[in-house]
Amino acid sequence: MVPLEISDRDQAAFELGIKLGALFHQFVGTPISLRSKESLERAMEGAIENQPYVEEAEVRIDEAPLRAAAGREFDYISLEGRMIGARVTVSYRGIRCVGRLSYNADLDFPLMTLERMEEV
């Protein structure tokens, strides 16, 4: 087997995948309610933006499951992957990658995708 050279483009895409995976796996299971939704979104963004090469992170949590839990004796639920919508931008050595974490209803699964790659 002949080893292939890893390019800056490859490394940029890898960095993006790591950030999206961390965002998903670090926060799934976190207790959340309507009251804490916005602060958790900001905390998730801040945690990812602390990591190397991240230019920007944007997180949105679906409110519908939170609204359904409101009014119960315990008005919080655990954050699920299907509730997270995120976009992360990474720049590495002149390559910018933008990726997304979003729920795919057809597959009933939260997917991470590479949306765009460009030279900067």
How much is the pTM? Answer: 0.92
The two tokens of residue 92 are 């590495």
The identity of residue 80, as a single letter, is E
Domain count, the chain: 1
CATH number at residue 49: 3.30.1300.20
**Domain presence at residue 1:** no
pLDDT band with cut points at 50, 70 and 90 for residue 99: very high
**Domain presence at residue 2:** no
**Domain presence at residue 21:** yes
Tens digit of pLDDT for each residue in 39-87?
A: 999 999 999 999 999 999 999 999 999 998 888 778 899 999 999 999 9
The identity of residue 90, as a single letter, is V
**Domain presence at residue 58:** yes
Residue positions counted in the chain: 120
Distance CA 21, CA 101 (A): 9
Across 51-119, the runs of DSSP E, i.e. the strands, are 54-61, 77-78, 84-92, 95-104, 109-119
Question: Looking at residue 47, what is its pLDDT?
Answer: 96
**Domain presence at residue 76:** yes
pLDDT band with cut points at 50, 70 and 90 for residue 108: very high
